[in-house]
Amino acid sequence: MTFDGNWKVDRSENYDTFMETMGVNIMKRKLAAHDNLKVIIHQEGDKFSVKESSTFRSIEINFTLGVQFDYALADGTELSGAWALEGDKLVGTFTRKDNGKTLKTNRVIIGDELVQTYVYEGVEAKRIFKKA
Ligand SMILES: CCCCCCCCCCCCCC(=O)O
């Protein structure tokens, strides 16, 4: 399927400002800038498995399109939300459990890269992955 593969982060855009807006302190931001994030994505119909590994942790997330699930960021911030497929774009809408604010994200394949965009409080960041 479109997003299937082993993806390794190659570069980020505006990620430090995004994390600061999310309330992540400078020490964690410095570490997160070099987190060597990898995601292994596998899709079967409307079900996805995402194996996430970084310098912080290794976890597996399973979700179904349109079905709400819980997810915790590496710093422990808890989110709840769902992914939907809009054409060739995965669109995620999540709510922070601690303050009720919305975090939007999407994944799209551009050329041979997977581009994930995050938006929180009007601040947008991108993380761009290459096939590992
Ligand atoms: C402070 C750093 C924030 C990074 C933003 C991460 C947003 C994650 C959205 C939800 C991801 C669900 C699991 C997945 O599909 O990988």
| Site to substitute for ligand 1 among 67, 77, 103, 127, most atoms within 8 A of C-beta | 103
Q: Which of 45, 81, 75 is nearest to 61 (CA)?
A: 81
CA 111 / ligand 1 centre spacing (Å):
22
CA 72 / ligand 1 centre spacing (Å):
8
> The domain 5-131: what is its CATH number?
2.40.128.20
- What residues line ligand 1, using a CB cutoff of 6 Å? 19, 22, 24, 50, 52, 61, 71, 73, 92, 94, 103, 105, 118
**Ranges of each domain in the chain:** 5-131
pLDDT score of 1? 86
Q: Which of 2, 10, 4, 5 is nearest to 129 (CA)?
A: 10
Using one digit for the tens of pLDDT, what is the confidence trace for 76-88? 999 999 999 999 9
Neighbour order of strands in the sheet with 113-120:
58-64, 47-53, 38-44, 5-13, 123-131, 113-120, 102-110, 89-96, 78-86, 69-72
Query: ipTM for the complex?
Result: 0.97
What mean pLDDT do residues 95-120 have?
A: 98
User: Rounded to the nearest 5 degrees, what angle is found at the Cα of 122, between the Cα atoms of 118 and 123?
Assistant: 55
pLDDT score of 30? 97
pLDDT at 62 over 90: yes
What mean pLDDT do residues 86-99 have?
A: 98
pLDDT score of 33? 96
CA 96 / ligand 1 centre spacing (Å):
11
What mean pLDDT do residues 10-32 have?
A: 97
pLDDT at 64 over 90: yes
Contact of 3 with 43, CB cutoff 8 Å: yes
pLDDT score of 114? 98
pLDDT score of 9? 98
Contact of 115 with 126, CB cutoff 8 Å: yes
